[in-house]
Structure 1
Amino acid sequence: MGIILLGGIKHCGKTTLGRLAAEELGWRFYDLDNLILKEAGGMWKTVREVWQDMGKEEFQLLEEDASRNFIEWIIP
């Protein structure tokens, strides 16, 4: 199984394209938004709420942590 990372501005179709590609390839799909919410301890329902409550800098640190933890988990 390979790894494909999609990046881009919000609402450009990353999640839709990622899900379709994963389904076509028979791979698992992971959305960073969901990983961020998990990393945040499940206190928020959306990443927008996390951003609003934490502010830009703290959110970016959380996003970095979620990304790093995922990469370390998926590529041991």
Structure 2
Amino acid sequence: MRTVQIVEAKARFSALLAAVEAGEEIAITRHGKVVARLVPDRPRMASELFRPMWDHADEMDLEAPADLIPEPVSESLD
């Protein structure tokens, strides 16, 4: 991953975006600390987002709660 300072990122933003479109990841730093990352956008499946959760499924309580008793509905519309 390439690292650039904020000043350089501002001056070369279009070139950095072209590099990101080509698949490169770029870290933007301020005073030597990473404050942002430019990464290529790619479509993701919902299963990708939940994969870490399923790795620990045995530690989770996946039982559905009991249904609530329905409440009566008043017919008057005040």
Q: What TM bracket, shorter-length normalisation? A: under 0.3
Larger Rg: 2
Higher helix proportion: 1
When you count strand as a share of all residues, which structure comes out higher?
A: 2
Provide TM-score, normalisation by structure 1: 0.26
- Compute the TM-score of the two structures, normalised by the length of structure 2: 0.25
